[in-house]
């Protein structure tokens, strides 16, 4: 005969004079025990971006104590450049600007500067700006749905810079990576849904006008490539750049050749 489980006691009409203590909050995962992350833990790590999404992604690998110092340089690279080259130049400019502004800081030189830039482009290579009005926002999303069977591309460039312990010129290590992800909008998405999404304002501050990590996912049928690249930072590639910068930095003339 099966043993019956005891039933929960019925709720009391009065407060229990000895309330049951609240259960302990679940503990999060332990930080990644990797040499590169251990070397910069507790030191100045600067994110040269005001993007909350990039900050959240870096927190997933344990970089929670970041200084947020966006670049002050205008983003004036030629948008007629291929998207791959445009994000590379823009992210490199951000990294150099913030690194130069902080290398002689009273806080001490940074252990690491991370910069990134993300663009959305049509299949033909046209770089799409953040929408400037509701009408433009609606038109952009309709274009992404209707053009090239719903496919478009997202590019993110990541640049990491760290000072060298040696006196080798130019005195820093610099590593770069550009990630490409193809995204397909569902061509059955209606104009009504697009308008409803635009009115939420979720995508108003995002390149391409949508956030795949939020409600914007209802517009997307599938992707080909790295998901967090579409969010704004390819995390696995970023970790690899950090390891190259702080564990096995390229020095001297090799840095110039890598630029």
Answer yes or no: are the C-beta atoms of 221 and 185 closer than 8 Å.
yes
**Active site residues per annotation:** 117
Report how far residue 81's alpha carbon sits from residue 86's, in angstroms, rounded to the nearest whole number: 6
With vertex at residue 74, the alpha carbon angle to CA 69 and CA 76, rounded to the nearest 5 degrees, is 135
With vertex at residue 75, the alpha carbon angle to CA 242 and CA 245, rounded to the nearest 5 degrees, is 10
For the record, the structure tokens of 15 come out as 């407060």
The three-state DSSP-derived secondary structure of 22-53 is: CCCCCCCCCCCCCHHHHHHCCCCEEECCCCHH
Report how far residue 103's alpha carbon sits from residue 181's, in angstroms, rounded to the nearest whole number: 34
User: Looking at residue 3, what DSSP letter applies?
Assistant: P
Q: Would you mind telling me the total number of residues written for the chain in this entry? A: 259
Q: Which residues contact 150 (CB under 8 A, 6 or more apart)?
A: 144, 184, 185, 186, 187, 221
């Amino acid at each position: 005969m099966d043993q019956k489980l005891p039933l929960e006691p019925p709720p009391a009409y009065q407060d229990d004079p000895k309330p049951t203590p609240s259960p302990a909050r679940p503990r999060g995962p332990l930080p990644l025990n990797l040499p590169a992350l251990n070397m910069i833990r507790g030191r100045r790590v600067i994110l040269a971006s005001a993007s909350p999404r990039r900050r959240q992604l870096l927190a997933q690998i344990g970089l929670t104590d970041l200084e947020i110092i966006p670049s002050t340089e205008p983003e004036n690279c030629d948008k007629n450049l291929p998207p791959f080259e445009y994000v590379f130049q823009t992210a490199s400019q951000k990294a150099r600007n913030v690194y130069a502004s902080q290398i002689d800081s009273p806080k001490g030189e940074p252990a690491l500067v991370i910069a990134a830039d993300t663009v959305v482009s049509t299949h033909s290579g046209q770089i799409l700006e953040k929408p400037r009005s509701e009408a433009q926002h609606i038109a952009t999303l309709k274009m992404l749905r209707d053009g090239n069977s719903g496919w478009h591309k997202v590019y993110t460039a990541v640049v990491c810079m760290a000072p060298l312990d040696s006196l080798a010129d130019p005195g820093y290590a610099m590593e770069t990576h550009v990630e490409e992800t193809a995204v397909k909008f569902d061509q059955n998405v209606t104009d009504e849904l697009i308008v409803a999404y635009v009115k939420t304002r979720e995508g108003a501050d995002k390149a391409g006008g949508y956030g795949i990590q939020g409600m914007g996912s209802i517009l997307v049928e599938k992707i080909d490539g790295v998901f967090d690249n579409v969010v704004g930072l390819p995390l696995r590639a970023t970790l690899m750049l950090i390891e190259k910068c702080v564990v096995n930095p390229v020095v001297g003339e090799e840095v110039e050749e890598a630029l």
